[in-house]
Structure 1
């Protein structure tokens, strides 16, 4: 399953980088701006890592389907935003996604892969719209490629957390489950604090 995920991540980068390679210096600057955008906000970082972590706890098809759905839906939200589609309460939905995914992990909620993908996909639309709203003077292609790759890497980081606990640190599976739930609770708490402007 991890080989499949690695192939998916490689395919994501392989299909976006060639398109980016044919654009000019301005687009390369836009790529860097786009790549850094998900890394510049705690809410984006937490939810994207959390999506990967939740996918890993679900296992099976969800391991690749959930992060793929997030990236695809986020890209759609970005394109719709650039096309002038208005998304209401974008920031509220971004923060709601942090809280929701954190709770899903903390409560060990196990949904079918398709249902999990649909849930994170709904939230991801608003993340894409948020990226579109921050485009500014950047080139839309370079910016988009940048944040898509950054998102894929954050998902991969989240997926790698649990194997790190079990195989890297050597935690027993039950202890790893407890730490995973704790991380979910922390994510939800950070989302709640951000919603009230405390972080």
Structure 2
């Protein structure tokens, strides 16, 4: 491997590590769900959300083709539907464990570069998106402020997907192992969150 390739690999690994090393705040405080800005910043401060969203983008980039736009679009769309269910207080079982499982599972899918058909990936991503959306929708008011919050949340989620896609496409096939290493790190973070060591 050339020196330039090693520098690119190290820089990408550092960027992904930095992006995923933000403090985790799984729930927002009362009164903090009343603006677009609050919705936009919240997912950027949650380690579970940051790592899972970047992993969705990485996995889509590794798959390539229409998965690059279908999988992130699916996540955001289903997340908003889950948010609506949460705002309406419609119960969904196992939301919190499911969110932690999503971090681990998405990390493993990236780490192993699992090549599922696009519709199967939609099903996996959709399930996790429903849980992420419900958790946050249950914390927002059923009014315009809540809708503004969810719009901000959706935009931030798309940006995190974009970071994952850009990173995955940026490394290309030559440095595919860097993207897979980032997936392994995501899975490890999920395990750490599940056991309360992170």
Which TM-score band applies after superposition, normalised by the shorter structure?
0.7 to 0.9
Q: CA RMSD in A?
A: 1.9
Cα deviation for residue 149 of structure 1 reads: 0.4
Contact 1:62–1:114 (CA under 8 A) maintained in structure 2: no
Q: Structure 2 length normalisation: TM-score?
A: 0.79
Question: Displacement of 1:165 after TM fit?
Answer: 2.7
Is the partner of 1:37 in helix, strand or coil? helix
Higher helix proportion (structure 1 or 2): 1
Q: Which residue does 1:81 correspond to in 2? A: 86
Matched, 1:158 2:164: yes
Q: Which residue of 1 aligns with 2:138?
A: 133
User: How big is the shift at 1:137?
Assistant: 9.1
1:5-33, CA deviations, whole angstroms, 9 ceiling, x for partnerless residues? xxxxxxxxxxxxxxxxxxxxx9x961111
Distance 2:72 2:169 in 1: 17
Scaled by the length of structure 1, the TM-score of the pair is 0.79
Runs of 4+ in 1 over 4 A off after TM superposition: none
- Structure 1 partner of 2:51: 46
Structure 1 unaligned spans of 5+: 1-25, 167-172
Number of residue pairs aligned between Structure 1 and Structure 2: 166
Local SS of the residue matching 1:32: helix
Q: Of 135, 143, 148, which residue of structure 1 is paired with 2:149?
A: 143
- 1:18-29 matches, within 5 Å, as none
CA distance in 1, matches of 2:115, 2:139: 34
1:124 is matched with which residue: 110, 129, 137? Answer: 129
